[in-house]
Amino acid sequence: MNLFGSLEDNELVLKEGVLTYSHLPETVLFREQEQNVIASAIKPLLSGRKPDNLFVYGKPGLGKTLCTKTVLQQLQNYSSDVLPIYINCWDANREYQVFTEIAKQTGYFFFQGKSAEDVFDEIVKRAEKSKGVCFVFDEIDKVRDLGFLYKILQHLEDKASVVLITNDKDFLMNLEARILSRLTPNELKFRAYSLEEIKEILGERVRLAFKPGAVSHIMLNKIAYHTHRSEDIRVGLFLLLNAAKNAEQSGHEKISNEDLDAALSKLAQFKIKTSLSKLSTDEQLLIDLVSKFPGLISGELFQKYSDAGGTLTMRSYRRMLMRLSRLELLSLENTSKGFRGQSRKILLGKKLKYTRIDAD
């Protein structure tokens, strides 16, 4: 019996990488205007003038990250005089991490032991030698402390174009006045794609990733329909890849209705992960802490939350705990400890137990 031959013959996905969320497609469809707005903010740097700052917002999966990265790449291809920096604030969410990552991207590597000030001084020196720096801070609402942003705005005023990206349209409203007054960004909202646009975007991926004929026209329409309902292109990529894997395993020559149904049943899990991004920054911070320190009792968790920069009072914090527990994102379990044996251990809730809580 040949256990592997039959599977290989039946590969529907020829280039899986094309279906990953972080893949940068060569052609970005239907976002020319948005890319122009981003490029125009940065452009003055090339001729030594003061650039604009930009606030980019919109729901998840609408191409904000893609467009910004594409603009940075074009900038890099066009000129080496302006330094392109891209930071994902899920990964680097404290000042020291942000500065280290920026330093790395400007080509400054160092052994551990430098202070944040030293690293920042070096960044400023490098910026001053160049025509300027374009800083993109993606998922900016995930940072713990915005001190680094103030320092950049303060020390690199004419030399830095700062682009902030977030799903949270109200982010600027909650920003400290001293930061906002220096930032005064232009705003760019990403709108949802139409059904027709989604069909074309996914159709292009299908053409590049799949064996010809693996995804019928009708199947593509169905997947586009589900994607349009969620407004998130990643749903389409998720369904394409998962349905194709199901088809490969079942020995189907192309994706069948059953293959798609099986992929749709896994979609709930995917959506939970995305729905986390709809929570407030405080709620996200709390969930993040519970995933790192499961099983703390309420008071201990409150301490961690405050240490990490959370500003809610104990009372509001308790209310937030109750809300997250109702949403089954956290679960509160009674222990025999504490006042009248009522201390409760806090764990990730049913909906999150098997989900990795971080960015793609």
Ligand X SMILES: Nc1ncnc2c1ncn2[C@@H]1O[C@H](COP(=O)(O)OP(=O)(O)O)[C@@H](O)[C@H]1O
Site residues (vs ligand X, CB under 6 A): 21, 23, 25, 28-31, 60-66, 201, 233-234, 237
Shortest distance, position 288 Cβ to Mg ion, whole Å: 18
Residue with CB nearest Mg ion? 65
Shortest distance, position 233 Cβ to ligand X, whole Å: 3
- Take residue 343 and report the two structure tokens written for it: 């201390």
Pick the closer one to ligand X by CB: 66 or 119: 66
Q: Which does 290 bind (CB under 5 to 8 A by kind): ligand X, Mg ion, none?
A: none
Residue with CB nearest ligand X? 63
Shortest distance, position 65 Cβ to Mg ion, whole Å: 3
Residues 6+ apart with CB under 8 A from 208: 15, 18, 25
Pick the closer one to ligand X by CB: 18 or 352: 18
Spatial distance between the Cα atoms of 160 and 53, rounded to a whole number of angstroms: 8
Q: Between the CA of residue 266 and those of 16, 246, 250, what are the distances in Å?
A: 19, 12, 17
Pick the closer one to ligand X by CB: 20 or 249: 20
Q: Which does 63 bind (CB under 5 to 8 A by kind): Mg ion, ligand X, none?
A: ligand X
Q: Which residues of 266-291 are buried (b: 16+ CB within 10 A; e: fewer)?
A: eeeebebbbebbebebbbbbbbbbbe
Q: Which does 30 bind (CB under 5 to 8 A by kind): Mg ion, ligand X, none?
A: ligand X
- Using CB under 5 A, list all residues that contact Mg ion: 65
Shortest distance, position 42 Cβ to ligand X, whole Å: 18
Spatial distance between the Cα atoms of 340 and 355, rounded to a whole number of angstroms: 34
**Residue 68: which of 13, 132, 124, 139 has the closest Cα?**
139
Pick the closer one to ligand X by CB: 340 or 356: 356
Please report the beta strands in the chain, taking only residues with DSSP state E, as ranges in sequence order: 54-57, 82-88, 132-138, 160-166, 186-189, 296-297, 330-334, 344-348
Pick the closer one to ligand X by CB: 27 or 77: 27
* Alpha helices, DSSP H, located in 31-94: 32-42, 64-78
Spatial distance between the Cα atoms of 38 and 41, rounded to a whole number of angstroms: 5
Shortest distance, position 209 Cβ to ligand X, whole Å: 12
Pick the closer one to Mg ion by CB: 55 or 120: 55
Q: Which does 45 bind (CB under 5 to 8 A by kind): ligand X, Mg ion, none?
A: none
Stretch (H or E) spanning 31? none
Shortest distance, position 235 Cβ to ligand X, whole Å: 9
